[in-house]
């Protein structure tokens, strides 16, 4: 499927735009998964994958983790996954790119306690099993303005 971009939008696009492809659907504003929960913070987790095969393993692991989380709805009250995206590395011959996962945090205390979980022993063992290192993982946290 190809899309036509209006000349007005074309004028503001960079000459080499990056593309992100949504690979997993998560919670978000207006989705049943969010319901009436109020977002306190969100985190953007980026996993650099040197090959397409590694990216596929990471996406599959996130899919399985999301299925386990949804089987424990009491945990969804404190946090949830947001959409997961794949951003290909331009010009890569190996299919390298970043798998980008959002985390929604609904509880301030839980966020304070768990925001560094990606560096835990459990997570580093998972990275090792998948073929990632801690250096391949970048996490950025954002507090959400409740007035916005």
Q: Name beta bridge partners: 41.
A: 105, 143
> Which CATH class name applies to 18-143?
alpha beta
- Work out whether the CA dihedral 9, 15, 18, 21 comes out positive or negative: positive
Question: Can you give the pTM of this predicted structure?
Answer: 0.85
Do the Cβ atoms of 2 and 67 come closer than 8 Å? Answer: no
- Domain locations in the chain as residue ranges: 18-143
- Write the pLDDT tens digit of every residue in 40-81: 999 999 999 999 999 999 999 999 998 988 888 776 789 999
Instruction: Return the CA Rg of the chain.
Output: 17
**pLDDT level of residue 148 (50, 70, 90 thresholds):** low
């Amino acid at each position: 499927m190809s899309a036509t971009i209006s000349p007005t939008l074309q004028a503001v696009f960079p000459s080499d735009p990056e593309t992100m492809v949504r690979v997993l659907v998560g919670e978000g504003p207006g989705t049943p998964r969010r319901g009436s929960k109020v977002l306190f913070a969100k985190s953007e987790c980026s996993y650099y994958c040197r090959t397409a095969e590694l990216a596929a393993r990471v996406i599959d692991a996130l899919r399985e983790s999301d299925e386990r989380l949804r089987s424990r709805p009491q945990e969804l009250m404190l946090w949830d996954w947001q959409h997961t995206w794949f951003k290909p590395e331009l010009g890569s011959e190996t299919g390298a790119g970043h798998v980008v996962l959002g985390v929604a945090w609904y509880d301030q205390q839980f966020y304070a306690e768990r925001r560094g979980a990606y560096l835990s022993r459990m997570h580093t063992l998972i990275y090792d099993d998948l073929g990632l290192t801690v250096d391949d993982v970048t996490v950025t946290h954002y507090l959400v303005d409740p007035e916005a």
